[in-house]
C-alpha cells in the first residue's frame, strides 16, 4: 500500500477517534448535569411549599425557580381563562390557564389542570369556576418558546400550543400587569376523584439516557481502533508490487 494512502487513513482514523471520544465525554458531562437536575427537582417537589413572593423574588434575581413548590392565595379571574393544548392518557384536551390575583396585586398564571376536548368551554363545566378567595399549591414552570414543529398560536380561537407567558398575558389584559410573576404555576391534583380540571399534570420523570449514549460512543471508538488495526495489519502484509 502506498505510504501516502496509509498516512491519509491514519489521519482520518485519529480525527474520527477524537470525535467519538469527545462525544462520549460530552454525554458523561450531560449525565452528571441531568443527575443533578433530577436530584434538585426531587428536593424541590418534596419540600414544604413556600410563598409566591419567595418564588417571584428568586425569578427576578435571575435564578431558576423551576419546580419550586409554592402555595398562593388569591382570586381567579375566570373570564380571562385560556386554553393550552395537551394530550393526557392518549386523549386530546386542554390545560386551563387562569390568572390568579393576590391581595397585594401580584398576578400569577395558574395551570389548573387538564380537561378533555369536550369540556373546553366553561358552560360544560360550571362547577370548575371557583369564585372568591381560594388557595392553590403547585410547581413553578418557566415559559416556553415556540419549537420548530410547534403549531402557531390561534389567539382568536383561544388555542395555545406552548407556554407563552407574554402572549397569554397580553391576551388576558389590556396592558400586561407590571407585577406579573415571570412563570406559570402548575396546580397539584385536588378535588374529589373524577373532578375537572385534573391537576397534577407536571411530568417529573425526566428521561436520562446519557449513560447509554456515552457507552455507545465509546464502543464506536473501540470499534474504530479494531478496524484501524486490522486495516493496517493487512496493508503491511500485502505483497509489494
Rounded to a whole number, what is the distance in angstroms from the first to the last CA of the chain? 9
What's the pLDDT at 190?
Answer: 79
User: Do the domain assignments include residue 133?
Assistant: yes
230's CB contacts (< 8 A; 6+ apart) are none
What's the pLDDT at 239?
Answer: 66
171 and 126 in one domain? yes
Helix (H, G, I), strand (E, B) or coil at 92: strand
192's CB contacts (< 8 A; 6+ apart) are none
How far is the C-alpha of 140 from the C-alpha of 184, rounded, in Å? 6
33's CB contacts (< 8 A; 6+ apart) are none
User: Do the domain assignments include residue 61?
Assistant: yes
86 and 157 in one domain? yes
Output the nine-digit C-alpha cell for 6.
Answer: 496509509
What's the pLDDT at 234?
Answer: 83
User: Do the domain assignments include residue 155?
Assistant: yes
224 and 114 in one domain? no
User: Do the domain assignments include residue 145?
Assistant: yes
What's the pLDDT at 240?
Answer: 61
152 and 64 in one domain? yes
For Cα atoms 188, 161, 184, give the angle at the middle one, nearest 5 degrees: 35
Domain that holds residue 13: 3-36+210-237
What's the pLDDT at 241?
Answer: 57
138 and 101 in one domain? yes
What are the φ and ψ backbone dihedral angles of 229, each rounded to 5 degrees?
A: -65, -45
172 and 61 in one domain? yes
118 and 61 in one domain? yes
61 and 9 in one domain? no
58 and 30 in one domain? no
142 and 25 in one domain? no
Which residue positions in the chain have pLDDT lower than 50?
Answer: none
Output the nine-digit C-alpha cell for 37.
Answer: 437536575
User: Do the domain assignments include residue 43?
Assistant: no
How far is the C-alpha of 49 from the C-alpha of 76, rounded, in Å? 20
Count up the domains in the chain and report the number.
Answer: 2
232 and 172 in one domain? no
8 and 126 in one domain? no
Amino acid at each position: 500500500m502506498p505510504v501516502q494512502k496509509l498516512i491519509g487513513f491514519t489521519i482520518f482514523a485519529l480525527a474520527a477517534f477524537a470525535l467519538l471520544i469527545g462525544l462520549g465525554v460530552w454525554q458523561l458531562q450531560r449525565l452528571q448535569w441531568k443527575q443533578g437536575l433530577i436530584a434538585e427537582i426531587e428536593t424541590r417537589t418534596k419540600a414544604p411549599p413556600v410563598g409566591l413572593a419567595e418564588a417571584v423574588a428568586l425569578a427576578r434575581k435571575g435564578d431558576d425557580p423551576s419546580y419550586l413548590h409554592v402555595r398562593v392565595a388569591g382570586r381567579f379571574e375566570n373570564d380571562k381563562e385560556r386554553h393550552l393544548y395537551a394530550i393526557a392518557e392518549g386523549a386530546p384536551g386542554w390545560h386551563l390557564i387562569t390568572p390568579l390575583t393576590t391581595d397585594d396585586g401580584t398576578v400569577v398564571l395558574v395551570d389548573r389542570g387538564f380537561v378533555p376536548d369536550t369540556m373546553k368551554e366553561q358552560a360544560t363545566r360550571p362547577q370548575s369556576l371557583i369564585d372568591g378567595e381560594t388557595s392553590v399549591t403547585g410547581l413553578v414552570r418557566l415559559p416556553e418558546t415556540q419549537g420548530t414543529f410547534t403549531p402557531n398560536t390561534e389567539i382568536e380561537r383561544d388555542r395555545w400550543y406552548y407556554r407563552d407567558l407574554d402572549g397569554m398575558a397580553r391576551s388576558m389584559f389590556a396592558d400586561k400587569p407590571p407585577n406579573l410573576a415571570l412563570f406559570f404555576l402548575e396546580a397539584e391534583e385536588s378535588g374529589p376523584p373524577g373532578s375537572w380540571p385534573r391537576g397534577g399534570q407536571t411530568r417529573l420523570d425526566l428521561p436520562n439516557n446519557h449513560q447509554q449514549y456515552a457507552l455507545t460512543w465509546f464502543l464506536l471508538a473501540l470499534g474504530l481502533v479494531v478496524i484501524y488495526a486490522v486495516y493496517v495489519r493487512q496493508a503491511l502484509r500485502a505483497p509489494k508490487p
